[in-house]
Structure 1
Amino acid sequence: MGRILAIDYGTKRTGIAVTDELQLIASGLTTVATSTLLPFLKDYFSSEKVQLVLIGEPKQKDGTPSAVEEHISKFLKEFTSHFPDIPTERVDERYSSKRAFQTMIDSGLKKKQRQNKALVDEISATIILQDYLYNN
C-alpha cells in the first residue's frame, strides 16, 4: 500500500501533507514554492510510493470555483503529463485555511508563529488529507 499525498495549491506557496504507508495517519510534510512543486514531487515520488494525490478544490461559499482554480487546472494538466500513473482526486477545501489558523491557536502557538503562512499552508494540506481519510 502506498501513501496518499495532499496538496493545498497556492499561487506562491503550496502546502503538502502525506499519510503513513498504512494510510492511517495524516502528517504535514512541508511547504514549497509553487514554482518548484513539480521538481519536488518528482524527487519525492522517486523515493516514496504514492498511491493517490489529493488536490484541494477551493470554492466560494456559494460553491462556485475560487479564482485560483484556473492555476490549479493548469497544474493538474502538467501533473498528469509528468506522472500519468499516479491518480489524482479533487477534495473540497473550503475553510481549510481558517481551520488551520484555529488549529494553530488551539495548539498554543504564539502570534509570531501563527503569522508563518508556510505553516498555515502545510496545516491546511493536513486538514484536507484528514478530511479525506475520515470520509473514505
Structure 2
Amino acid sequence: MARILAIDYGTKRTGIAVTDELQLIASGLTTVETKNLLSFLIDYTQKENVTLFLIGEPRRMNDMPSDVEVHIAAFIKKLIKEIPSIPVKRVDERFTSKMAFQTMIDSGLKKKQRRNKALIDEISATILLQEYLYNKS
C-alpha cells in the first residue's frame, strides 16, 4: 500500500501529516511555508509512494466556505497540474485547530510551546488524517 498525505492549508504555513504505508497510523510530518508547499510535495512524492492527498475544507458554522477557500482552490489546481497521478480528496476541517490546541494542553505542553502555530498546523493535519482513517474503516 501507499501513504495518504493530509494537508492543513494556511495562507502562511501549512501543516502536513502522513500515514504509514499500511494506512493505519496518522503522524505529523512537518509544517512548511505555504509558498514552498508545492515544491515540497513534488519532492516528497518522488521519494515516497503517496496514494491520496487529503486536503482540509474549512467551513463556517453556517456551512459556507471560509475565506481561505479561494486560496485552497487555486492551490489544488496547481497541485493537480503538477502531480496528476495522485487524487485529491477534500474533508471538513472544522474545529481541527481547536482540537489541536486542546491536544497540546492535554499532553502537558507549556504555554510557551502552545504558542507555536507551526505545531498547531501539524497537529491539525494529523487530526484531519486520523479522523479520515477512522471514518473510512
| TM-score bin (small chain) | over 0.9
Q: Deviations over 1:104-126 (max 9, x none)?
A: 00000000000000000000000
Task: Report what 2:44 is aligned to.
Answer: 44
1:128 is paired with a residue whose SS is: helix
Task: Report what 1:69 is aligned to.
Answer: 69
TM-score relative to the length of structure 2: 0.99
Task: Report what 2:25 is aligned to.
Answer: 25
2:80 is paired with a residue whose SS is: helix
Q: By how many angstroms is 1:73 displaced?
A: 0.3
C-alpha distance in 1, partners of 2:51/2:45? Answer: 10
Q: Deviations over 1:70-123 (max 9, x none)?
A: 000000000000001100100000000000000000000000000000000000
Q: How does 1:114-133 map to 2 (within 5 A)?
A: 114-133=114-133
| RMSD between superposed Cα atoms in Å | 0.3
Identity of aligned residues (%): 71
Aligned length: 136
Q: By how many angstroms is 1:8 displaced?
A: 0.1
Unaligned runs of 5+ in 2: none
Unaligned runs of 5+ in 1: none
Dislocated runs of 4+, deviation >2 Å:
none
